Amino acid sequence: MTARWPALAAAFLLSAGSASAQAPDPVAVTVTDKGCEPAALTVPAGKSVFKISNKSRRVLEWEILQGTMIVEERENIIPGFVQSLSATLQPGSYEMTCGLLSNPKGTLTVTAATAAAPGAPDPMALVGPLAAYKLYVMAEVEAFHGQTAAFVAAVKADRIAEAKALYPQARRHYERIEPVASLFNDLDKSMDVRADDFERKDADPGFIGFHRLEKGLWADNSTEGLGAHADRLLADATELKRRIADLTIPPAKMVGGAAGLIEEVAATKISGEEDRYSRTDLWDFHANVEGSRKIFDLLRPLVATRDPDLVARTETNFSRVETLLAKYRTGDGGFAPYDSLSDRDRNALKRPITVLAEDLSTLRGKLGLD
């Protein structure tokens, strides 16, 4: 990995170089059922704060894209609510997602900054953790590709019981590295899209990927018509593996991913909306926690020098969540169906997961990446 260190250091400088600059006034964006208002924005390079108002009828995520890459995103914006997103952007042309996948994307133009930002944190401090995390991501995407190939083969051979057993095993590798895997907007939408992202729900032809196959296997108990979807999923998994091999992971995405994985569980997955047909949600929860802990473990020495109390508190919170999840382990190494948990069980999970997410959300600031 030594050859990648200059690129990693450069990436850190790029993301942190303007982090301490004074942010301008918030930029207001309203998302309706038809798209973004305004549909075109211009901001100066450096840090911007966007205020996203959801005036549509569905929970949405708002993303800033550069090509197929997600630069920044704010997930789980409830109808009628406003959420903030801080983004440190380099000059260039970007796109904004605007609700339903069928809605037109907005445009975001970032103009050159008028003054240089104050000095950034030492870029070399994160090079070691970034290199180690890249190795972890590469191993997980390799396992993901192999498990997905086995899952697809079972679907195409009409081996329903085998496909059902392989489904959560393949997905857990994706869920561990979701902060990186979801950087590629086109692949993330193809592999992990939910029916709720379409106006026609699960009847929409754009509803493909893991969850479309999940519906066929569990809700329909049939593989009829799933062959093309299975082939597309494997092709996407192959492309993801190729892209990740060439990717220099943005430091802010790695650090922010520790919180992002847990925040998603607390905000939406805890409701059971992720694997609604198979009820394999606890597999995903556990994989998200594993991926988050891996990032935290790599960053622990850096964070400990700045805030040892945060490290101790976060360790305790991780242990609490892991102990709760262990209660639902089954003898075969899997997890109990999520619909076997009571409301009390789910609430018992939600509180420590939310507390853990809150602590992890401070990591970017602690390391000078906000």
Written as tens digits, the pLDDT of the chain (370 aa) is 333 444 444 444 444 444 444 446 899 999 999 999 999 999 998 888 999 999 998 888 899 999 888 888 888 898 999 998 888 888 999 999 998 888 999 999 999 865 444 444 465 788 999 999 999 999 999 999 999 999 999 999 999 999 999 999 999 999 999 999 999 999 999 999 999 888 889 999 999 999 999 999 999 999 999 999 999 999 999 999 999 999 999 998 999 999 999 998 988 899 898 899 999 999 999 999 999 999 999 999 999 999 999 999 999 999 999 999 999 999 989 999 999 999 999 999 999 999 999 999 999 989 988 6
Cα end-to-end distance, the chain, whole Å: 27
Residue pair 166/147 in contact by the 8 Å Cβ criterion: yes
Domains of the chain: 21-111 (2.60.40.420), 132-248 (1.20.1420.20), 250-370 (1.20.1420.20)
Residue 105: closest CA among 41, 45, 54? 41
Distances (CA, A) of 335 to 106, 160, 199, 345: 41, 19, 32, 14
Give the CA-trace dihedral at 291, 248, 95, 83, to 10 degrees. Answer: 40
CA distance 131 to 4: 8
- Helix 127-156 vs helix 5-16: crossing angle, to nearest 10: 100
List 107's β-bridge partners, or say none: 40, 95
CA distance 369 to 365: 6
CA distance 317 to 356: 6
CA distance 198 to 106: 18
Q: Compute the residue count for the chain.
A: 370
Q: Can you give the pLDDT at residue 198?
A: 87
Residue 141: closest CA among 237, 5, 221, 67? 237
List 28's β-bridge partners, or say none: 51
Task: Note the pTM of the prediction, 2 decimals.
Answer: 0.79
Q: What are phi and psi of 93, to 5 degrees?
A: -110, 135
Q: Can you give the pLDDT at residue 113?
A: 64
Query: Can you list the positions of beta strands (E) in the chain?
Result: 27-31, 36-37, 40-44, 46-54, 60-66, 69-77, 82-89, 92-96, 106-111
For strands 92-96 and 60-66, give the pairing. Answer: antiparallel
